[in-house]
Each structure stands twice: as C-alpha cells, then as structure tokens.
Amino acid sequence: MKQRTIVIGDIHGALKALVQLLERVGLQRDDRLIFLGDYVDGWSQSAAVIDYLLELEQRYSCFFIKGNHDAWCADWLNGLEANPSWLVHGGQMTVNSYATFSDAEKREHLHFFKRLQNYYVDEERRLFIHAGFSSMLGPEEEHYTSSASWDRSLWEMALRMDGPVRKNSALLPQRLHLYPEIFIGHTPTIYYGTDVPMHGCNVWNIDTGAAFTGKLSAMDVATHTYWQSDRVQALYPQEKGRNK
C-alpha cells in the first residue's frame, strides 16, 4: 500500500479532538504524519497532547514542526519566567495542565520541544512550516529563524495573488515559486469565515480554528482529501479554549 503523508493543523491542547481526528483518518502503519505546530495553549490537555505525540512517534513516522506557542512553552519548561502574553493567549491552561507532572516528565517534554523543526521539506519539495517565511530564497536563508513560527506575510500574499494573478505565473512573487506546495498553520481559517482548510495559490492553510470555535483538521497532501474533528468547543463544553 502506498505511503500517505498526512499533515495535521494546530492542536492547542485539544487531545480529544486529536484522537477523534486520527480515528477518522484511519491511520495505516506506513503513514507519515507531519504536525504543523502549536500543540499547546487553549484547551486543558496540553501536557497530555505531548504525551500522546510521543506515543505516536513510537508507531509512525512523525515530523514535528515548531509553532510560536511551543516556543513560549519551551521557555517556561526551561525555567524562564512565563511570558505574560503567553499566559493570556492560552498559556495559563498549559501551566495548569502540568500541575501533576513530575520534574522528570517535564524534562522529557522539554526535550521534545527542543527537537522541534522550524520546517520540513519532503522528497517532492513540498514545504511544511508553521507560519511562513519572508526571504526570497526560502526559510533556510531566513535572517530571523523565529519567522518560521510567526510570519503571516506568506499567507496574506498567497491570498492576494490568487485568482487572475495566479494565472500569470510571471507576476507571482519569487517566494511562491520556490516550492510546488506549501502547508501552513498559525492563521486560523475562521478569521476568514470558514472552518475548513483554505487554499491560496500553492499555499494550503490547515489551521481551522481548533483553539477557538473551529475544528481540528488533517489533510492527505497528495490528494488534498481532508478530515476534521467535531467542533472542539463541543468536546470541551465546560471550557472556553482561547475564546474571549
């Protein structure tokens, strides 16, 4: 059976949604799983999400990309004072989720966060990155490595260039010529009024708002077939996630 590459969007502590989603994907032993980052911050099971990802890694070929929320969490696990912005944007729920974890368990999770990749390029030259990049030469030439976890200009540009401009490839910015396809998270599609993956030029946005009012999504990168969890809020009816 041909190996599938499945890309998974931002989880934000929603273990129930992740388990449900992967059941709907129907994982096969040879599947390759690429997670786009932001594993924590939002719902109450952030620490449990990391435990589950470590278990998945024992059974499947997994690639883990670093999100901006993961960087905040890693700093805190490494002994730095919690970033106030992080606590406001879901970090407090993550701190709470570690209340029963031992120092050894926290160190294991810190090791996980430290080995996250800024981006991944597969054998078909498809790029997987949490947010984006600004260098015309690609993320490997990015001056600030944090851009991979924070940059939104790539997605905004892809949306603007879609449609008539896209049909004239000479008008497309160089960044969009570097890879046949780019898969990102970071910017929830619910900001644009939809809770399904969005497509702009050759960029696919798989963050469908799981941290807020949306769903958790996964996509087969070869066929663009996608699967989704239930609305995450319905799976955590007593919680707010990152909703105000």
Domain chopping of the chain, boundaries: 5-234
* Confidence check: pLDDT of 172 > 60: yes
Residue 1 has pLDDT above 80, yes or no: no
Distance between CA atoms of residues 23 and 229, nearest Å? 9
Per-residue confidence band for 143, with pLDDT thresholds at 50, 70 and 90: confident
65, 119, 159, 196, 207 from 19: Cα distances, Å: 19, 24, 31, 18, 17
Q: Per residue in 65-104, is it b (16+ CB within 10 Å) or e — as a string?
A: bbbbbbbbbbbbbeeeeeeeebbebbbebbbebbeebeee
Taking residues 134-146, what's their average pLDDT? 91
Average pLDDT over residues 144-171: 83
Which of 12, 1, 26 shows the shortest CA–CA distance to 225? 26
For residue 174, pLDDT over 90 is answered with: no
Query: Which fold would CATH assign to domain 5-234?
Result: Purple Acid Phosphatase; chain A, domain 2 (3.60.21)
Band of pLDDT at residue 168, cut at 50, 70 and 90: low
Across residues 25-42, what is the average pLDDT? 97
pLDDT, residue 165, reads 58
Contacts with 33 (C-beta within 8 Å, 6 or more apart), sequence order: 6, 8, 27, 56, 60, 61, 62, 63
| pLDDT beyond 70 at 166 | no
pLDDT digits (tens, 9 = 90+) for 191-243: 999 999 999 999 999 999 999 999 999 999 999 999 999 999 999 999 999 99
Tens digit of pLDDT for each residue in 99-116? 999 999 999 999 999 999
Q: What is the β-pairing status of strands 203-205 and 198-200?
A: antiparallel
Nearest one of 59, 76, 185, 64 to 115, comparing CA atoms: 64
The pLDDT assigned to 110 comes to 98
Over 203-223, what HEC string results?
Answer: EEECCCCCCCCCEEEEEECCC
Compute CA 162 distance to the chain's CA centroid, rounded to the nearest angstrom. Answer: 23
| pLDDT, the chain, mean | 95
Whether 134 shows a pLDDT value over 60: the answer reads yes
Instruction: State how far the Cα of 55 lies from the Cα of 22, in Å rounded to an integer.
Output: 13
Lowest average pLDDT, out of 8-22, 74-88, 133-147, 181-195, goes to 133-147
Do residues 181 and 224 touch, judged by C-beta distance below 8 A? no
| pLDDT tens by residue, 49-105 | 999 999 999 999 999 999 999 999 999 999 999 999 999 999 999 999 999 999 999
The model carries a pTM of 0.96
Q: How far is it, in rounded angstroms, from Cα 189 to Cα 193?
A: 7
| Euclidean distance between the first and the last CA atom of the chain, given in angstroms as a whole number | 45
